Amino acid sequence: MSASAGITWWQWLVHTNDVKQLWAAQPTYLISQAVYLLAGLLTLIHAFRKGGRWPYFWLGTVLHGLYADNFWHFVLPEYDNFWHSQTPIIFLGARTPLHIIFVYPAFIYHAAYAISRLNLPRYAEPFAVGLVTVLIDIPYDIVAVKFVHWTWHDTDPNIFDRHYWVPWNSYYFHATFAASFFFFFNASRRWLAPKVAQWESAGKSVEWKSVLIASLLGMPGGVLMFVPLYHPLHDVLGIHSEVTFFLLFSIFSVFVLHGLLSDREKSKSRLTTIDYVLILQLVIHYVIYWVFVVFFHPEREWSLGLHEPVGPCNEVATLTTPFGQTLLKRKYFCPDNYDEGYFSFHCVGGQKPANGLSWYVVCGTPFANRAEYITLLSTILIVAFGVFYGLYFKTQPSPSNKKLKTK
Q: Is residue 331 part of a domain?
A: no
**Dist CA 260 CA 146 (whole Å):** 36
Successive 10-residue mean pLDDT values, the chain, 407 residues: 67 96 98 98 98 98 96 88 97 96 98 97 98 99 99 97 98 99 98 96 97 98 97 96 99 98 89 98 98 99 97 96 90 97 98 97 98 99 98 82 44
Helix or strand or coil: residue 319? strand
Residue 121 CB partners (closer than 8 Å, separation 6+): 259, 262, 264
For residue 147, is it within any domain? yes
The domain tally of the chain equals: 1
pLDDT at residue number 5: 54
Q: What is the pTM of this model?
A: 0.94
Range of the domain at 162: 16-298+372-393
Task: Note whether residue 78 is domain-resident.
Answer: yes
The DSSP result for 293-315, as a single string, is HHH--GGG-EEEEE-SPB--TT-
Helix and strand element counts for the chain (H, E): 13, 12
Q: Is residue 273 part of a domain?
A: yes
Instruction: Report the b/e string of 121-144 with b at 16+ CB within 10 A.
Output: eeebbbbbbbbbbbbbbbbbbbbb
pLDDT of amino acid 318: 94
pLDDT of residue 184: 98
Query: 353 in a domain, yes or no?
Result: no
Domain-located, residue 316: no
Query: 211 in a domain, yes or no?
Result: yes
| Closest CA relative to residue 216, chosen from 35, 357, 66, 30 | 66
In a domain, 46, yes or no: yes
Whole-number pLDDT of residue 156: 97
